[in-house]
Amino acid sequence: MDFKKNISIRYFSIVALMIIAALSIIAKAAFLMFAERSFWEGVAQRYVKENVEVKPNRGNILSADGQLMASSLPEYKIYQDFMTSESKRYPERREKDQNRRDTLLFNNIDSICRGLHRIFPDKSIAEFKAHLLKGRKEKSRNWQIYPKRISYIQYKEVKKLPMFCLNQYSGGFIGQPFNRRKKPFGSLAMRTLGDTYIGYPDSAKNGLELAYDSILKGKVGLTHRQKVMNRYLNIVDVPPVDGCDIVTTINVNMQDIAEKALVDKMKELNADMGVVILMEVKTGEVKAIVNMSKAGDGNYYEMNNHAISTRMEPGSTFKTASMLVALDDEVADTSDIVDTGKGIYQMHGRAMKDHNWNNGGYGPINMQKILGVSSNIGVSRIIDDNYKDNPTKFVEGLYRVGIGENLKLDIPGYLPPIIRYPNKDNWWKTALAWMSIGYETQIAPINTLAFYNAIANDGVMVKPKFVKAITKDGEIIEEFETEILKKSICSTKALKKMQDMLEGVVSKGLGKKAGSKQFHVSGKTGTAQVAQGSGGYKSGPMQYLVSFCGYFPSEDPKYSCIVAIRKPGYPASGGTMAGPVFSRIAERVMAGSLKRGLNEAIDSTAITIPDVKNGNLNEARYILDKLDIDMEWEGEYDKDNAYGKAGIITNGVQLTRSEINGDRVPNVRGMGAKDAVYLMENCGLRVQLSGVGKVHTQSIPAGNRAIKGQTVRLMLR
């Protein structure tokens, strides 16, 4: 019995020891998992890293003249690790380092908080002090110093503060970098350039960003962490390849002109949607594209790319295509007379009206005047009389002249035209007549413009182009040529007659408001009632699409342009509402393109000194040096802070640097938009621009305290 008892005691003793050991292991594991989790995760992050992705820099989107329109700029979140140098292996060093770090913090906390308040004035010195002391009390290893992301310039300023200027393991300061997609010109061509998803600057959402995403985003690299000579280093396995830049066809000045002209008219008309597209005739390069929608706050923003993705009934601008088909088929001629009566004509039992029907109509008129006064009766009678027995021939003619062409644009969201073919299920006797004047068809504005551009281009239809080239490190690696969609949209004879008629619409007809005293303009007005969804034209308040599409100058067309505005109720007139916008754009674009040879402006003994804008003096200095123009630098030169004023002196230019204080509003008068916006946004201000040229006035005087998020309005002249 004693032997069995001893065996039992030994057995239970061994089991008890094993249970205790198991519980000890579980307790230690639990302690590591919870109590020391953050410490060991930090160790793992510092020492154990395999196949870590290194994201490349996303390529830039540039304007036609090389100005930055979209770029990925660094932003940072800033943290403090209050326990950064603690060591489990050397407790005595841990205590020593902790005491040193605490002493460093408490000795410098006042100057640190003053510096933080200077950089981020929305939080007081006391708030920063209480916040940092709370983090130290909680022994946080990841204490966020400031709640928002900060710019690179702000990050560099924070890094200059006591304690934060030390390395991470000595001072505990951590800067977590992010990339954010920025557009230096704000809303200009915003919907065409496209967006990336918020928080994911490498994930394209729409526009050119999405169309050229594979080119812009580059290739991801890989690294791993390895111990080399007692130090852990990041070893690059596959280096990242930065994305290429794309050079767009957009001209920033023309874009600004078009946007301002359109928005001013939309405000006047209380319009809810507006589009402008300006295109170079020979190349098809889109120089400006504006898409404005009225938001709930009553202001206008680029929210949808209506120019390419919104089909609409074009109205009277479509009459040009109808007439061109008739001319090309030689079933009608400009000398033909059509009796439009008193402005009302029964078309297969449905009343067709001219816009002046209540004033007695136009009576018998020829084809030139039909287009000039935009007679619905005149156009519909020509088409119905000649194609009612074979409407398919007319529809095929529309595709032949290019109004129904699928442009296959690069930008995602493009919708090709819908021009239906006759069949027994969806074709009525009245369909041909109403189709001929721009109803019962659905066409995006870009298609209408491409058609008019072909008329301006002597019948050659080119594909609208948004990107000129792909570049890498300043070198062109691929250039996009002009793509011809149709070598000829019609006969030379028909084309010449249509060109003459379109010039007559502006010089003699309803399009006079689109003209200019400086040069001839050709084009066509358009006014159409907008269908209200499935309810047709009679459901809801009436809306109208007023438009003008044409080209200039008529004798040697350089640019084509369409203006389309959707507005509520009467009055509605494409000539008097869209026409003036077209005229304003055309005159300013032509004024900017006028060039005169230097020899015509000066004599052989003259010395030409350029008008240098205030702003980035490094750029001015570079250009002046290349032009071999004398310059004087007043004060100490600092290439990292070279913003200031430029003034003309005898036979040269004087450059004077200005001190830029981050918490004070800078003086940006005399600067261009790029430098002015850069300096204002660096102070945390939001900028609203109006006008073109140099900054003439700023709504917040220079020297005032800069309040983050405040809006400053800059007037340029």
241 and 113, same structural domain?
A: yes
Q: What is the reported pLDDT for 228? A: 59
Instruction: Among 213-217, 479-483, 647-651, 662-666, name the one with the lowest average pLDDT.
Output: 647-651
Residue 202's pLDDT band, with cuts at 50, 70 and 90, is low
335 and 256, same structural domain?
A: yes
Average pLDDT over residues 504-526: 93
Q: What is the reported pLDDT for 86? A: 46
Q: What is the reported pLDDT for 201? A: 60
207 vs 515: which has the higher pLDDT: 515
571 and 424, same structural domain?
A: yes
Q: In terms of residues, how long is the chain?
A: 717
Per residue in 58-98, pLDDT tens? 888 888 888 888 887 778 888 888 876 544 445 556 666 67
347 and 198, same structural domain?
A: no
For the residues of 302-342, what is the DSSP string, one character each?
Answer: --S-HHHH--B--GGGGHHHHHHHHHHTTS--TT-EEE-TT
* Nearest to 79, CA basis, from 129, 127, 118, 135: 135
Q: What is the DSSP letter of 241?
A: B
- Return mean pLDDT, the chain: 84
Phi (first) and psi of residue 361, to 5 degrees: 75, -175
Q: What distance lies between CA 514 and its chain's CA centroid?
A: 28
What total of structural domains would you count in the chain? 4
29 and 75, same structural domain?
A: no
630 and 582, same structural domain?
A: no
Instruction: Among 417-426, 571-580, 653-662, name the one with the lowest average pLDDT.
Output: 653-662
Average pLDDT over residues 262-266: 94
Q: What is the reported pLDDT for 3? A: 58
Are residues 191 and 207 in contact, defined by beta-carbon separation less than 8 angstroms? yes
CATH of the domain at 669: 3.30.10.20
Within a domain: 598: no
Average pLDDT over residues 196-214: 76
Residue for token pair 């309005």: 713
Q: Which two tokens stand for residue 597?
A: 């040879």
| CA pair distance 483, 36, nearest whole angstrom | 65
Are residues 84 and 141 in contact, defined by beta-carbon separation less than 8 angstroms? yes
Per residue in 165-195, pLDDT tens? 887 777 788 888 777 777 778 778 877 888 7
Q: What is the reported pLDDT for 247? A: 93
Q: Which two tokens stand for residue 580?
A: 């003036």
Average pLDDT over residues 389-412: 92
152 and 274, same structural domain?
A: no
Q: What is the reported pLDDT for 85? A: 56
| CA pair distance 40, 224, nearest whole angstrom | 18
Q: What is the reported pLDDT for 150? A: 85
Average pLDDT over residues 327-335: 93
Q: What is the reported pLDDT for 88? A: 45
Q: What is the reported pLDDT for 586? A: 95
Within a domain: 233: yes
User: Residues near 359 by Cβ (< 8 Å), separated by ≥ 6?
Assistant: 343
* Nearest to 318, CA basis, from 20, 560, 549, 496: 549
Within a domain: 394: yes
| CA pair distance 462, 544, nearest whole angstrom | 30
305 and 231, same structural domain?
A: no
CATH of the domain at 567: 3.40.710.10
Is 146 in a helix, a strand, or coil? coil
> Has residue 562 got a pLDDT over 60?
yes
User: Residues near 111 by Cβ (< 8 Å), separated by ≥ 6?
Assistant: 161, 162
* Nearest to 553, CA basis, from 509, 603, 518, 513: 518
404 and 335, same structural domain?
A: yes
134 and 20, same structural domain?
A: no
Within a domain: 696: yes
Q: What is the reported pLDDT for 57? A: 81
- b/e map of 430-459 (b: 16 or more CB within 10 Å)? bbbbbbbbbbbbbbbbbbbbbbbbbbbbeb
Range of the domain at 434: 252-593
**pTM more than 0.85:** no
295 vs 53: which has the higher pLDDT: 295
